[in-house]
Amino acid sequence: MKKSLPLTLLVSLVYLAVLAPAPIAYAGPPLQIGGTQVTIQNPTNGMNFQPGQTIGVASTSNAPGGISFVQLFVDNVGIATSSPPGGIPQPNFYVVQYWTTTPGYHTITVSATSAQGVTGQASIFINVGGSAQPTNTPNPCVAGARFLGDGSVPDNSVIQPGTPFQKIWEVQNTGSCIWINTYGIVNIGGGTLSAPSPASIPYTVPGQTVNVALNMVAPQQPGTYRSVWQVRAPNGYTFGPQLDVQIIVPQAGCSGLPQVTSFYASPQTIRLGQATTLVWGPVNNADQIKLQTPAGSASVTAPGQTSLSPQVTTSYILTAFCKGQRVDSVATVYVSNPPTPTPTPPFQQNSIFLSPAQQAGFGAINVPVQYFYNNLNAPGQIQLTAFNNFGQVVGNSTVGAIPYSQQFTNVTISIPSGYQNAVQVQGCIIDRTGAVLVCSTGLGIR
């Protein structure tokens, strides 16, 4: 019985050996080197790609104390370095780094360094342009773009024949590919307007917004021109919205009489102290445009406008010239002055009379006042107070050192909430001691 013990032990060892899992064989170098842990999720070891394909190398790194930065190497050549947002180490840092493939067999290595300076790395092999048919090789990054707006030269801009200009589109990278120097913009219709095609675009990471600019020249012949462009990937694939520019090239120079499409004042009639706006529309077939005002004549562009506050009724002239020939257009602004009230004698001593208030511009009213002051406790003053519908004070004004005897004056009251709130005005004559000698009421603005 004692001799059977070694046999039993041998049988047990053989049984355990059969159940034990076989060791797994990995192609290529060890996937992990160093104390910091690095895992490459994409691409996988042994994948096949075509030359010129932009691939995204996705990796996750972790280490005690956090990851400070991650580097991408291809055949021991540094390609990209990435750090967590704000440079703050992260315990688990996920990043996608990009490389455009070249033919051959390549070793892709991702190296991560922790906050304590401990480095680890992982490596994979890929085949670019080999004889084997690619299998399981979806594009690791997706190309996408979005048009946000015109940065210059909006559609139907008028540009003189042969004039250089720069067209700018504001474009956002909405894909997962980085637009490196192998990306560009290419003309897909309507002619290039003397711009190169393809043309380069700025280096742009996913989510970033950039200005894509082309230097163009307006054709010599008059007409409407439209040029259409699109962003192109390194493999020739065009993507994103069509980016277009449309310009109008007018007939060179001018001939015959100019044409002023419109010229007017808004409003045409104002009261003294108010403002009006002169407005003029496009002026066709002209090589010079001038606006004449009482201050003089000055060149202007069309269309355009300007704000004025004439003191009297005034006519303004817009003149268009074409090789010495001219066309005048006139706009007249009529200014009305409020009539001066005529005093109605006789007045009693220390009497005051308020005429209805008049608008003096937004937030102010004028109140014509007639009074008689007997010079008691001179100097005296006139004090005006404006009230709203609820009897609340909405503005006041004082005229000091008024002369005695029959007088007429015009007092301005500023109303904080607008002249329409002053529905009643009270005026009083007050002597130098502050004693009220006489008061009267008048109408405000209704």
Query: What CA–CA distance (Å, rounded) separates 228 from 210?
Result: 18
Give a yes or no: residue 374 inside a domain.
yes
- On whether both 93 and 154 belong to a single domain, the answer is no
- On whether both 228 and 282 belong to a single domain, the answer is no
CATH code, domain carrying 198:
2.60.40.10
Give a yes or no: residue 136 inside a domain.
no
Give a yes or no: residue 20 inside a domain.
no
- On whether both 321 and 384 belong to a single domain, the answer is no
Average pLDDT of span 217-227: 91
Residue-wise pLDDT for 36-92, tens only, equals 899 998 888 888 898 988 888 889 999 988 999 999 999 888 899 999 988 899 999
Give a yes or no: residue 308 inside a domain.
yes
The pLDDT-based confidence of 348 (bands split at 50, 70, 90) is low
> Residue 215 above 80 pLDDT?
yes
Domain range for 438 is 351-443
- On whether both 292 and 368 belong to a single domain, the answer is no
- On whether both 283 and 241 belong to a single domain, the answer is no
- On whether both 229 and 152 belong to a single domain, the answer is yes
Give a yes or no: residue 53 inside a domain.
yes
The pLDDT-based confidence of 341 (bands split at 50, 70, 90) is low
> Residue 198 above 90 pLDDT?
yes
The pLDDT-based confidence of 417 (bands split at 50, 70, 90) is low
Number of structural domains the chain divides into: 4
Average pLDDT of span 105-125: 88
The helices-and-strands tally (H runs, E runs) of the chain is 1, 34
Look at residues 128, 154, 174 and tell me which one is the last residue of a structural domain: 128
Look at residues 99, 128, 157 and tell me which one is the last residue of a structural domain: 128
Average pLDDT of span 362-381: 83
Look up the pTM and report it.
Answer: 0.34
Grouping H, G, I as helix, E, B as strand and the rest as coil, residue 13 is helix
Buried b (16+ CB within 10 A) or exposed e, 171-190: bbbebbbbbeeebbbebeee
- On whether both 119 and 209 belong to a single domain, the answer is no
Q: 151-165, 294-308, 355-369, 380-394: which range is least confident on average?
A: 355-369
> Residue 9 above 60 pLDDT?
no
> Residue 375 above 50 pLDDT?
yes
Average pLDDT of span 321-343: 82
* Residues pairing with 395 in the sheet: 386
Give a yes or no: residue 361 inside a domain.
yes
> Residue 112 above 80 pLDDT?
yes
- On whether both 326 and 243 belong to a single domain, the answer is no
Q: 338-342, 361-365, 372-376: which range is least confident on average?
A: 338-342
pLDDT of residue 410: 77
Give a yes or no: residue 203 inside a domain.
yes
Query: What CA–CA distance (Å, rounded) separates 92 from 103?
Result: 33
Q: 30-39, 111-120, 279-288: which range is least confident on average?
A: 30-39
Q: Which of 372, 368, 370, 419 is nearest to 394 (CA)?
A: 419
What is the CA angle 246-251-253, rounded to 5?
A: 130
Place of tokens 């090239």: 249
Looking at per-residue pLDDT, the higher value among 394 and 212 belongs to 212
pLDDT of residue 269: 92
pLDDT of residue 420: 66
> Residue 307 above 60 pLDDT?
yes
> Residue 131 above 70 pLDDT?
no
Residue-wise pLDDT for 258-292, tens only, equals 899 999 999 999 988 899 999 999 988 888 899 99
Mean pLDDT of the chain: 82
> Residue 2 above 60 pLDDT?
no
Look at residues 307, 336, 365 and tell me which one is the last residue of a structural domain: 336
Give a yes or no: residue 343 inside a domain.
no
Average pLDDT of span 360-377: 82
- On whether both 161 and 245 belong to a single domain, the answer is yes
